[in-house]
Structure 1
Amino acid sequence: LSSTQTFYQFTALELYAVRPSDEELHQKAERLSKFLGNILEATPPGFGWQLLEDLRPLE
Structure 2
Amino acid sequence: MVIAAAKIRGINLDELDYMTWGQLIDYIIVYNNLHYTGEGRNEEEETIRQANQADFDNF
TM-score, normalised with respect to structure 1: 0.38
Q: Which one has a bigger Cα radius of gyration? A: 2
Could you say which structure has the greater relative contact order, defined with CA pairs below 8 angstroms and 6 or more residues apart?
1
Normalized per residue, the structure richer in helix is 2
TM-score, normalised with respect to structure 2: 0.38
